Amino acid sequence: MGPRRRALRRFLQNKLAVFGIVTIVLFLIFCFLGPLVHPTDQVHTDLKSVMLPPGTAGHPLGTDDVGYDVLGRLMVGGQISILIGLAAGILATVIGTLWGAIAGYVGGVVDTVMMRVVDAGIAIPATFLLLILSAILRPSVPLMICVIGLVSWLVPARLVRAESISLKSREYVLALKAMGGSHSRAVLRHIVPNTVGTIVVNATFQVADAILLVAYISFLGMGLQKPATDWGAMLTSGITYTYAGAWWLIFPAGFCIVLTVCAFNSIGDGLRDFFDVKGRTA
């Protein structure tokens, strides 16, 4: 059996990783195909259908304080949360990968300056920056993707930089230099592809962290404004009515956030085993 098949078998033996993939697939179906099965109006309010409990005809999970169907809102909010999480996670991974690969490959003063920038960025809480930018600018999906991506690239940059330092002394990189190959070719064709394991594993954690950041900002009231919503905004809207017994306004969204983040983290753990050369058996 080849090494790739053995690695795939190790991944499939990780039940949490398989559970994570199945969970994410089900969430994608629920959020993006669900509205076709259960269409609802998530733009216009319906004050005649306010605070209906779960099980009401036409509203399996009830309605919220302005008459929006909670199940339909859960689907729409999931679309935005997952979209922002995936896009911001990918953006952060791309920026961090290039930054770390260049810093580690070039070394010297360039490496020192670039990594001091990373250290300074890590010292500033991402949530704090997001709150400030949300207060200054009108929140939108593209803006939140860019902002979260631009505050989340620091960790992958450090990881890839550590890999790059060891890879730049490998024979194939030295041979490329001896043949007059460009630095950009060395970084893009040799350094980055050989850090793919670290990149892919970290990308799953970046997506999970981005989804949590969206929820944090929205929960604090600085996220997307109605009628747009995400899972964090649903928590904010429903928490006022929690003590009145309207549990259906917060538990479904909270459950989706926790389950989605745990699923991405489980996939990351499984991918770590997949790319772990040292842990593979012969």
Mean pLDDT for back-to-back runs of 10 residues, the chain (282 residues): 69 86 95 93 87 89 90 93 92 92 89 91 80 78 87 90 84 75 76 83 90 83 79 84 84 92 90 65 44
Cβ(163)–Cβ(104) under 8 Å? yes
Residue whose pair of structure tokens reads 């319906």 in the numeric block: 46
**Phi–psi pair at 56, nearest 5 degrees:** -65, 145
Cα 47 from Cα 227, distance rounded (Å): 15
Q: In the block, which residue shows the tokens 């999931």?
A: 78
Distance of alpha carbon 215 from alpha carbon 199, whole angstroms: 24
Report the candidate in 73, 218, 72 with the shortest Cα–Cα distance to residue 148. Answer: 218
List pLDDT tens digits, range 10-47: 778 888 889 999 999 999 999 999 999 999 988 888 88
Instruction: Give every CB contact of residue 203 below 8 A, 6+ residues apart in sequence.
Output: 89, 90, 93, 156
> pTM for the full model?
0.85
Average pLDDT over the chain reads: 85
- Look up residue 162 and give its two tokens: 């550590």
d(CA 69, CA 218): 19
Residues 6+ apart with CB under 8 A from 71: 38, 40, 59, 60, 61, 252
What is the distance between the alpha carbons of residues 147 and 151, in angstroms, rounded to a whole number? 6
